Each structure stands twice: as structure tokens, then as C-alpha cells.
Amino acid sequence: MESKQRIAFNFYKSYMDVANELSDKDRLAFYDAIVNRQFYGIEPDLKGMAKFAYISQKHNIDAQVNGWESKMNVKLDPSQGGSQGGSQGGSQQEEGQEEEQEKGKGKGEEEKPKSKKFAPPTQSEIISYFLEKGYTQEAACKAFDYYDVADWADSNGKKIKNWKQKMIAVWFKEENKAGYRNPNQPPKRVTPDPPPFVSCIKSPEDLKY
């Protein structure tokens, strides 16, 4: 039969379901094996869990390839594609990637700095920060107590990485500002002072009847 290059194939959900149970390196090897078989007719030489995953889907994969070859009356040519992607096992691929990464570092690539470990603030630090930004000490104490009892995790259970950012996003609200008055709350009624006492007696004669 004539050799012709294939340009597309149907990716079944069962392929993804099986791949989701694999580690990252075995999943990559599994996907590469499917692609190389579907496009180039290359039979893979996998290792470990990637091999078991491929075997579980081999019937569907081969049926797709054979169906396309019969319909197009052509034979997939392995020479048109690279055999390295699907023929290597997951561990072999990983080793090759690590070697390339090491070469890149040798050419001047710097390692990314490690992120600093979060250190919870003290109550006095929280209060000072609130007062500095114009917010009340009462709100600062509430914020500190809220996160301190939760081991400095938010309402979703995620650990806080930047406490100042969290204060700005959650606690720096209008009602927590110093001197804030709720517009929906009626003002307090002020009772006027009584008038000063004025004696009606002006002279001793006023006491006479």
C-alpha cells in the first residue's frame, strides 16, 4: 500500500481516564506512545505503569489505526516520525529531561530563589500596622485573634503567605476606620442641660407677706 501521513485522530475519554491514574512521567510516556502509534504506526516499547496503561487501551488504539489504513488504503510509515517519544519508558524520558536541564544550568541559568517561610506576626505588629494605616485597635485585635486561633490559615483553610496583604484585602474596611460612624444608625439623642436656677427673691422685703 501507498505510504501517507495521517493528520488527525479521535482521542477517546478512556485514554484520559487511564492517564489520570499515572504519575507525570508515565503519563507523558503513555501520551507519546498513543500519538506515535496513531500518526506514524510506531509500536511503543514502554516500561512500568506506562506499559500497563497502553496495553489496557491497545485494542482501541490498534482499531483506530487499522480502520484509518483500510479507509485510506495506505500504510502509516514509521520513518516519517521520531520513534523516541513512544519507544522510551517513563524513567528513560525523565533521565533525558534531567540531563538537558543540567546542561541548561551549566550555560548560566540561575536557580530560582527559594520562597521565605511565613513567620506569623505578633499582636503588637498587627496593632501598629492598623494604627499606621488609620484603622482601629479594636479591629486589629479581632483580626489577630481570628487568624491566630486558625494557625494563620484563611476561611478556606489555605495558609497565609503575606499577612499585610491579607489585612488590606479583608480587614481594611470603612467600618474599621478610626472615627467611623454608621450612616444607618440614628444619632444619639442629646438631652439639653436644664436652665440655670434663678431666684425670684430680690430683696428682704420680698419675704414679707
- Helix H or strand E segment including 24: helix 24-40
Angstrom distance (rounded) from CA 7 to CA 39: 7
Looking at residue 46, what is its pLDDT?
93
Q: Sign of the CA dihedral 61, 62, 66, 72?
A: positive
Confidence of residue 180 (pLDDT cuts 50, 70, 90): confident
Q: Which of 99, 96, 97, 91 lies closest to 22, judged by CA?
A: 91
Looking at residue 154, what is its pLDDT?
87
Looking at residue 64, what is its pLDDT?
93
Work out the average pLDDT over 144-165: 91
Angstrom distance (rounded) from CA 35 to CA 39: 6
Q: Is the pLDDT of residue 87 over 50?
A: no
Looking at residue 147, what is its pLDDT?
93
Q: Is the pLDDT of residue 90 over 80?
A: no
* Higher pLDDT among residues 112 and 30, named by residue: 30
The conformational region for residue 151 under phi > 0 = left, psi -120 to 50 = alpha, else beta, is: left
Q: Which of 45, 48, 23, 24 lies closest to 36, judged by CA?
A: 45
Confidence of residue 170 (pLDDT cuts 50, 70, 90): very high
Work out the average pLDDT over 63-84: 80
Looking at residue 193, what is its pLDDT?
66
Look at the chain and count its residues. Answer: 209
**Cell, residue 27:** 503519563
Task: Please check whether residue 98 is in contact with residue 61, taking contact to mean a CB–CB distance below 8 angstroms.
Answer: no
Q: Is the pLDDT of residue 40 over 80?
A: yes
* Higher pLDDT among residues 190 and 145, named by residue: 145
Which residues have a Cβ under 8 Å from the Cβ of 13 and sit 6 or more positions away? none
Which residues have a Cβ under 8 Å from the Cβ of 45 and sit 6 or more positions away? 86, 87, 88, 89
Q: Is the pLDDT of residue 99 over 90?
A: no
Work out the average pLDDT over 165-188: 84
Which residues have a Cβ under 8 Å from the Cβ of 205 and sit 6 or more positions away? none
Confidence of residue 75 (pLDDT cuts 50, 70, 90): confident
SS3 label, residue 97 = helix
Looking at residue 5, what is its pLDDT?
79
Looking at residue 140, what is its pLDDT?
93
pTM of full prediction above 0.75 = no
